[in-house]
Amino acid sequence: MPSPDVTDAHLRHLATLSRLTLTDAETPGLRESLAAIIAYVDRLRDLDLAGVQPMTRPGDEPAPLADDVPNAAISVDTLRAIAPAMHGDYIAVPKVLGDGGGA
């Protein structure tokens, strides 16, 4: 698929997918710089990559599974202390059911 023009609509779409509110002031600069970067990375299309296997990470060691045993854990009090808002023993968020949905 060819590169899209980075229109305001495409930037808004990316911002929604990224869960980012963008201000009107920052939108033009982001749009222009993204267009320049995407034009730059498009040079990869010039390469003949037929038959090349993708490389996801370096190294040949398998990623091991951890043993299923309990470890020392971070305490509830500690987690409570770094949470931005609590409601009793629960982390508070706006309601997600009914008219609060959409997340």
DSSP letter (8 states) at residue 54: P
We find the least distance from the C-beta atom of residue 78 to another protein, in angstroms, to be 5
Cα angle 51, 40, 59 (rounded to 5 degrees) comes to 45
C-alpha to C-alpha distance for 59 and 24, rounded to whole angstroms: 44
C-alpha to C-alpha distance for 72 and 78, rounded to whole angstroms: 13
Structure tokens at 15: 């911002």
- The phi and psi torsions of 26 (rounded to 5 degrees) equal -90, -15
Q: Of residues 3-62, which lie at the interface with another protein (CB under 8 A)?
A: 3, 11, 14-15, 17-23, 26, 29-30, 33-34, 36-38, 40-45, 47, 49, 52-59, 61
We find the least distance from the C-beta atom of residue 69 to another protein, in angstroms, to be 11
Interface residues toward another protein, by CB under 8 A: 1, 3, 11, 14-15, 17-23, 26, 29-30, 33-34, 36-38, 40-45, 47, 49, 52-59, 61, 63-64, 66, 72, 74, 78-79, 81-85, 91, 93-96, 100-103
